[in-house]
Amino acid sequence: MKKLMMNLVACLLLFSCKDGKPPYLEVKDNELTIQAIQLEEAESNTGVSYKVRLIPNREMLKQINAEKQRALTYKMDSCFYISLNKQKIYPLLTQAIANGVSGSYEYLLEFETDKNESRDSIRLMYHDKYINNKIYSITSNQK
């Protein structure tokens, strides 16, 4: 019985091992954390879709007034783009997602690209206009 239990525990440990990587891409500095998940092609009928979360640090959150809050909700369509073959492709859809988490901003982005284009050559770019005015680059090959 003891041997069976040990084998069962060993099998569970073996099959529960993962690569240790989170399922999302993350870029952060001392002011802002950006997390992005590239959605599966089956979930999107356009070229590329992302779910993106912006998390400002505490000091940056204190600087976000009501006007910036509205801009972070309604004026983000020109802040995101993908860089592909030296071209900027802006999203067809930029939808703010009400996630219920205070101090974070979440978006659904849909980009139209050629289905034959290699996903490894796509870079998601975020040009911040309301928090710290920096440009962030997130590579999309997460597999």
Per CATH, domain 24-139 is 3.30.530: no
Domain-by-domain residue ranges, the chain?
A: 24-139
pLDDT digits (tens, 9 = 90+) for 80-92: 999 888 889 999 9
Cβ atoms of residues 29 and 134 within 8 Å: yes
Report the alpha-carbon distance of residue 82 to residue 104 in Å, rounded: 22
pLDDT (mean) for 22-36: 89
Cβ atoms of residues 125 and 83 within 8 Å: yes
- Per cent of the chain over pLDDT 70 is 76
User: Is residue 21 pLDDT above 80, yes or no?
Assistant: no
Residue 41's SS3 state is helix
DSSP state of 119: G
User: Is residue 20 pLDDT above 80, yes or no?
Assistant: no
pLDDT band at 6 (very low <50, low <70, confident <90, very high): low
> Which of 12-16, 57-61, 91-95, 99-103 comes out lowest in average pLDDT?
12-16
Residue 42's SS3 state is helix
The pLDDT of residue 46: 58
User: Is residue 142 pLDDT above 50, yes or no?
Assistant: no
Q: Write the Ramachandran bin of 54: left for phi over 0, alpha for psi from -120 to 50, otherwise beta.
A: beta
User: Is residue 4 pLDDT above 70, yes or no?
Assistant: no
- For the entire predicted model, the pTM comes to 0.76
Report the alpha-carbon distance of residue 128 to residue 53 in Å, rounded: 13
Report the alpha-carbon distance of residue 15 to residue 52 in Å, rounded: 30
CA-wise closest residue to 51 among 94, 7, 88, 21: 94
